[in-house]
Amino acid sequence: MPERPQTIELVRRTAFFATAGEAAMARLLRPSFTQVLPRGAVMFEQHQQADFLHLLLEGSVGLMARDETGAETVVEIFGPGELFLAPAAILQLPYLASATALTEVRVLMLPSEVFRDGIAQDPALARAAVELLARHWRLMVDQVVDLKLRSAERRVARFLARRVAEDHGTGSVALPEPRGTIAARLGMTPETLSRTLAGLEAAGLIRVFPRRIDVPDREKLLRVAPKK
């Protein structure tokens, strides 16, 4: 590539490359390239061989998985700075999920083979991969706990709170993704999501707009009690 300076700076600031370091970054960026894809584009299919890791530079991506009957759900939604799906690239296994652009996206494509070779030779890169996987494992455990224990109110409140910068405690949360995708991520129907958002708004905890939600007080939102 020759990459735009802003891209380089964005890549450098990701948690992954902050750990992996400049040498690993140079090594991985050399054979990589960026793609700009419209909302709705399928970046890769479930069961396809994992030839690339994807580093999201701009936009929002949904990981979708199908079960054996063909039913589909949203496993996770990733935003800028996230690297996925490393497990498939590392294990040389097919992707466990497909990835769909939920907005227009700009994504950096890193060849899996270069990534695997890098891990084998560069301890800093291996450490970054280990930290990335450990963090993603924790995301999934958190979601399992969400699905098993938490009410719709709490799930929605936590999802919104995560999008409010912690140091602010208040803010406007952009929701550029289709509402149906957010509902599937949260393990509820779109109707339940709408009802829950309306309930949180009636309680004065959020204000709902078409493509954003205002959170006046993050801590108060997180203390929402489930409806009886």
Question: How many Å apart are CA 206 and CA 203, to the nearest integer?
Answer: 8
Nearer to its own copies by Cβ, of 101 and 188: the residue is 188
Question: Which lies closer to its own copies via its Cβ, residue 123 or residue 176?
Answer: 123
Question: What residues contact 98, with CB distance under 8 A and at least 6 apart?
Answer: 42, 43, 44, 45, 46, 48, 63, 64, 65, 66
SS3 letters across 41-69: CEEECCCCECCEEEEEEECCEEEEEECCC
Q: What residues contact residue 154 under an 8 Å CB cut-off, 6+ apart?
A: 146, 224, 226
Q: Which of 187, 199, 214, 217 binds its own copies (CB under 8 A)?
A: 187
Among 2, 120, 210, 219, binds its own copies (CB under 8 A): 120
Site string for its own copies, 133-172 (x = CB under 8 A): xxxxxx-xxxxxx-xxxx---x------------------
Nearer Cβ to its own copies, position 127 or 212? 127
Residues that bind its own copies (CB under 8 A): 65, 67, 71-73, 75, 86-87, 90-91, 96-97, 119-121, 123, 126-127, 129-131, 133-138, 140-145, 147-150, 154, 184, 187
